[in-house]
């Protein structure tokens, strides 16, 4: 049975309101939750960016949901610190936490003042970070000299079972590469053929573990309102790599997205006032075999979305999935 989660978007919502939303999502019938981890929003209109790891401790305590987070170790975060954060949450909330690891975006990582590496170097850096994090979670003392440097690090607080480290990918090539090291795969909604190619590439390369999908949706009682929400909040998020990886600031994203047409947004976000239409889209993803689907309503007000999907979308998917 596919798990349906609530995606907590720190770039858009104050962390106190986001905590209320995830508590409400559990009561409304969502099975799990997932968290972003940004230093900067994608747009000044989004206007927030709370620290995910502080919030995750509060959210795990306030609910009984399993949680995941998408993180980019290697520049803004030292991998030993991320291993400590993963290990502590895993020790406090056994079996309820996983972390997806990716190569990141310049908009979050440039704050260190270090140069933004080429993609192949970011991949190599992430691979080193994965090995460091795994070794630390296994109780080893780690020293490492490479694209990241670690000196005699050891985790003194660890969970009995290390949390899963999931590979984050948006391309077929990256999905295939993640199969070398990941305990599962996570991606975002895209055309079904592309998602199928990613899954096949991951599995054919020996990829193990669950398949996660984050789905961007915009719902409102009125179609024009649903479209307006998506256009206001998500038109800065429609750019394919390498643009989305390499722009530095929210101001840059706002400038390049000034003239984005609505049709570009609706190709990235599933926009409809009809809950049945959302059921249809999600059924297509279910047929691909995803084990967990995290729903991200791209609006800043979450309660009506949570209530509507809790009563009119999730029950129908559970009867078919």
Nearest to 287 by CA among 213, 176, 180, 178: 213
∠ CA 292-168-24, nearest 5°, is 40
**Cα(297)–Cα(278) distance, rounded to whole angstroms?**
12
Q: What are the φ/ψ torsions at residue 88 (nearest 5 degrees)?
A: -70, -45
* DSSP assignment string, 98-161: EEEE----HHHHGGG-S----HHHHHHHHHHHHHHHHHHHTT--EEEESSSEEEEE--SS--SS
Catalytic residue from among 38, 212, 216, 278: 38
**Cα(155)–Cα(135) distance, rounded to whole angstroms?**
10
* DSSP assignment string, 111-125: GG-S----HHHHHHH
To the query of whether residue 105 is one of the catalytic residues in this protein, the response is yes
SS3 at position 54: helix
**Cα(314)–Cα(212) distance, rounded to whole angstroms?**
17
Instruction: Specify the DSSP class assigned to residue 273.
Output: S
Q: Which residues contact 85 (CB under 8 A, 6 or more apart)?
A: 53
∠ CA 277-278-283, nearest 5°, is 100
Catalytic residue from among 11, 26, 105, 128: 105
**Cα(229)–Cα(22) distance, rounded to whole angstroms?**
20
To the query of whether residue 7 is one of the catalytic residues in this protein, the response is no
Q: Could you list the active site residues? A: 38, 105
């Amino acid at each position: 049975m596919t798990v349906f989660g609530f995606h907590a978007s720190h770039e858009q919502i104050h962390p106190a309101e986001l905590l209320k939303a995830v508590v409400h999502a559990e009561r409304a019938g969502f099975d799990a939750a997932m968290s972003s981890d940004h230093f900067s929003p994608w747009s000044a209109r989004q206007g927030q960016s709370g620290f995910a790891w502080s919030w995750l401790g509060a959210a795990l305590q306030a609910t009984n949901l399993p949680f995941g987070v998408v993180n980019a170790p290697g520049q803004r975060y030292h991998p030993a610190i991320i291993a400590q954060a993963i290990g502590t949450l895993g020790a406090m909330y056994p079996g309820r936490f996983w972390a997806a690891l990716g190569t990141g975006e310049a908009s979050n990582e440039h704050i260190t003042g270090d140069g933004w590496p080429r993609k192949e170097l970011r991949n190599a850096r992430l691979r080193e970070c994965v090995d460091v994090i795994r070794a630390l979670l296994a109780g080893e003392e780690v020293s490492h000299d490479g694209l990241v440097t670690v000196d005699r690090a050891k985790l003194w607080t660890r969970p009995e079972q290390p949390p899963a480290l999931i590979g984050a990918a948006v391309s077929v090539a990256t999905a295939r590469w993640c199969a070398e090291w990941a305990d599962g795969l996570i991606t975002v909604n895209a055309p079904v053929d592309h998602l199928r190619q990613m899954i096949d590439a991951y599995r054919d390369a020996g990829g193990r573990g669950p398949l996660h999908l984050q789905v961007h949706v915009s719902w409102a009682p009125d179609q024009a309102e649903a479209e307006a929400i998506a256009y206001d909040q998500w038109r800065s998020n429609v750019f394919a790599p390498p643009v989305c990886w390499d722009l530095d600031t929210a101001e840059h994203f706002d400038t390049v997205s000034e003239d984005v047409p609505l049709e570009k947004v609706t190709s990235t976000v599933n926009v409809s006032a009809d809950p049945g239409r959302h059921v249809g889209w999600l059924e297509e993803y279910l047929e691909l075999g995803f084990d967990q689907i995290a729903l991200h309503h791209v609006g800043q007000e979450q309660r009506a979305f949570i209530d509507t999907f809790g009563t009119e979308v999730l029950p129908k998917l559970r009867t078919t999935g």
